[in-house]
Amino acid sequence: MENNELELENQKPSYEHFLEVKDLRTSFFIPAGEVKSVDGSTFNVDKGKILGIVGESGSGKSVTAYSLMQILSHPGKIVGGSIKLEGRELVGLPERELAKIRGGKISIIFQDPMTSLNPVYTIGNQIREAIMLHKRYTVPCKIKKVTRDENGNKVVTYEDGFKEVKPTRKQANDRAIEMLELVGINSPEKRLKQYPFEFSGGMLQRIMIAMALCCEPDLLIADEPTTALDVTIQAQILELIQSIQKKMGMAVVLITHDLGVVAELCDEVIVMYGGKIVERGTADEIFYNPKHEYTKGLLRSIPTNENTNERLVPISGNAIDLLNLPKGCAFSPRCPHAMKICLKQYPDERVVNECHKCSCFMYAKELYDKGELELVNESQENTSKEGESDAE
User: Is 70 exceeded by the pLDDT of residue 385?
Assistant: no
Burial class (CB in 10 A: 0-12, 13-18, 19+), 288: exposed
Per-residue confidence at 14, pLDDT binned at 50, 70, 90? low
For residues 7 and 4, what is the distance between their CA atoms, to the nearest angstrom?
Answer: 5
How many Cβ atoms from other residues are within 10 Å of residue 200's Cβ?
Answer: 11
Give per-residue pLDDT as tens, 248-299. 788 999 998 878 788 888 899 999 998 999 999 999 999 889 999 999 888 8
Report the b/e string of 126-146 with b at 16+ CB within 10 A. bbbbbbbbbbeeeeeeeeeee
Q: What confidence score (pLDDT) does residue 10 get?
A: 46
Distance (Å, whole) CA 128 – CA 172? 5
Which residues pair with residue 138 across a beta bridge?
A: 164
- The average pLDDT across 132-160 equals 78
- Residue 219: which residues within 8 A CB-CB, separation 6 or more? 18, 19, 45, 68, 85, 105, 106, 107, 250, 251, 252, 253
User: What pLDDT shows up at residue 380?
Assistant: 44
In the predicted model, what is the mean pLDDT of residues 25-38? 91
pLDDT tens string 321-360 = 888 888 889 898 888 888 888 888 999 888 888 889 999 9
**pLDDT at site 7:** 45
pLDDT exceeds cutoff 50 at 303: yes
Instruction: State the pLDDT at residue 374.
Output: 66
Mean of the per-residue pLDDT values for the chain?
82
CA distance 46 to 20: 9
Helix segments in the chain, DSSP class H: 2-11, 61-69, 95-101, 123-134, 169-182, 188-191, 201-213, 231-248, 259-265, 283-288, 293-300, 340-344, 361-369, 378-386
Question: Is the pLDDT score of 136 beyond 90?
Answer: no
- The phi and psi torsions of 373 (rounded to 5 degrees) equal -135, 130
In terms of pLDDT, which residue wins out, 18 or 307?
18
- The whole-number pLDDT of residue 392 equals 42
Average pLDDT over residues 207-227: 85
| Separation CA 17–CA 87 (nearest Å) | 8
pLDDT value for 319: 80
The predicted model gives 40-60 an average pLDDT of 90
Report yes or no: 271 and 294 within 8 Å, Cβ to Cβ: yes
Higher-pLDDT residue of 134, 56: 56
pLDDT of 157 higher than 90: no
Does residue 378 surpass a pLDDT of 80?
A: no
Q: Are 190 and 163 in contact (CB under 8 A)?
A: no
Axis crossing angle, helix 231-248 with helix 201-213, rounded to the nearest 10: 0
Q: How confident is the model at residue 109 (pLDDT cuts 50, 70, 90)?
A: confident
Q: Residues 383, 341: contact at Cβ < 8 Å?
A: yes
Confidence band, pLDDT 50/70/90 cuts, at residue 58? confident
Q: Is the pLDDT of residue 195 over 90?
A: yes
**57 neighbors 70 (Cβ within 8 angstroms):** no
Query: If you average pLDDT over residues 166-194, what whole number do you get?
Result: 88
